[in-house]
Amino acid sequence: MLGRALNLVTVLFVCGQTVLILHFVARGDLSSPTTPVIEYKDFVTILLTALGVMIAVGAIFAAVAAIWGFEFLRRETRESAEKAARERTEAMLPSLVQQQVRFELQGIKTSGDEIAAEMSKEDKP
């Protein structure tokens, strides 16, 4: 997006320079050869105005790119966090299952087992 914005600013700059060159080559008017020459102060004013317009257009493109980039970064951060959590969970799950199976094979009762046993006793008449 930023590359496209820079390309557009460059194209506009080149177009502006082309118009100025054509103006100086034709001396402002193609029909009469005796047109007045543009003064230095007018030329500087035109160049500074064109530069101001290009900076304003660039600032608008930068603002749009910043908003778009912020949303992109937020989305990518969320997806990356979800992926990392999923991978960590998938990596930890087999070891947790093996640990629980080992406890059950050894006859070790956990507090969860005790709670489940009490709940099953309460349900029976």
Q: What CA–CA distance (Å, rounded) separates 90 from 94?
A: 7
Tens digits of per-residue pLDDT, 29-42?
555 555 567 788 88
> pTM above 0.85?
no
Within a domain: 47: yes
Range(s) of the domain holding residue 83: 2-88
How does residue 12 score in pLDDT terms, banded at 50, 70 and 90? confident
Tens digits of per-residue pLDDT, 52-93?
999 999 999 999 888 888 888 889 999 999 999 888 888 877
Within a domain: 53: yes
Tally of structural domains, the chain: 1
C-beta separation of 38 from 28 below 8 A: yes
Within a domain: 30: yes
